[in-house]
Amino acid sequence: MNAQEVDTVLRAVPKDFARLVMIGVLMSNKTLYGVKNKYPNRYPGLETLWNIFSNDERALNLIHFSTDHPDTLYSDLCRAQELAGPNCHGFQLNMRWPDPAVVERYRLKVPFRKKTIVLQCGAGALSAKQLVDRLDQYYGLIDYVLLDESGGTGKEFDGEKLVDLVHCIKSTLPNVGVGVAGGLCASSVDRLSPLQGWVNISVDAEGKLRDENDNLMLREAVKYLFAAAEVLL
């Protein structure tokens, strides 16, 4: 939500930390144009956006973007990138199967500066093969796929299903990194144990790191970082 939260988390991370810490800033097509939504403690105002992302080498600074108007996605990404400033490293697309042509167009706009693109995927009722077939449309366009049926609600993932999906993606799309999410916090990272030994598995947490007023609990966020790293390294 602000630079102070980012600074608090990163100051707790050792210089030689083996992983990047994703600083995720939620944005929708509404908040991009100054319209507040029903989660005011999760979506920062545009006036603070430029200052949130730092140039700390331990951070991966991404806008987590969602929209109800996919037809304006390209122009929205360009506007968001400009508002976020030079320390913004790219986007996590929290939307259902964005048009690959639009993602490619954005990629071509920034050939001089590599941007990171994460595609959030709820998977839903898709089988592993069906999911990989859909993801194949984005091959070369996205850096990571985030397997997340929780969507920030704290719903815990199905470990058996998740392992099957990760295995299938890693086997057929080796250049695409895989992230997992769903009900993670310091006390639940043991659910990641089936993924130990996999290379380049990333993790994401949101819902269970927030208090009853929907504010980020910084102490819990730091505890989660170290607990998850211990399981995965």
| Domain-wise residue ranges, the chain | 3-232
Look at residue 150 in the predicted model and tell me its pLDDT.
63
Query: Looking at residue 142, what is its pLDDT?
Result: 95
Using an 8 Å Cβ cutoff, are 134 and 192 in contact?
Answer: no
β-sheet bridge partners, residue 60: 22
Which pLDDT score is estimated for 192?
84
Percent of the chain with pLDDT over 90: 59
* Average pLDDT estimate for 52-65: 94
Question: CA 147 to CA 152: how far, in whole Å?
Answer: 12
Distance (Å, whole) CA 34 – CA 207 = 24
Of residues 54 and 193, more confidence is placed in 54
- 């968001």: which residue's tokens? 80
111 has a pLDDT exceeding 70: no
Q: Say what the pLDDT of residue 122 is.
A: 77
Lowest average pLDDT, out of 37-51, 154-168, 182-196, 217-231, goes to: 154-168
**pLDDT score recorded for residue 88:** 94
Residue 152 has pLDDT above 60, yes or no: no
pLDDT band at 79 (very low <50, low <70, confident <90, very high): very high
In this predicted model, what pLDDT tens digit does every residue of 220-231 receive, in sequence order? Answer: 999 999 998 888
> With 70 as the cut, is the pLDDT of residue 112 above it?
no
**What is the band of 8 on the pLDDT scale with cuts at 50, 70, 90?**
very high
The share of the chain scoring above pLDDT 70, in percent, equals: 92
| 70-109: b (≥16 Cβ within 10 Å) or e | eeebbebbeebbeebeeebbbbbbbbeebebebbeebbee
What's this model's pTM, rounded to 2 decimal places? Answer: 0.92
Q: What is the mean pLDDT of residues 96-101?
A: 94
- How high is the mean pLDDT of the chain? 88
Fold of 3-232: TIM Barrel (3.20.20)
Of 131 and 8, the structure prediction assigns the larger pLDDT to 8
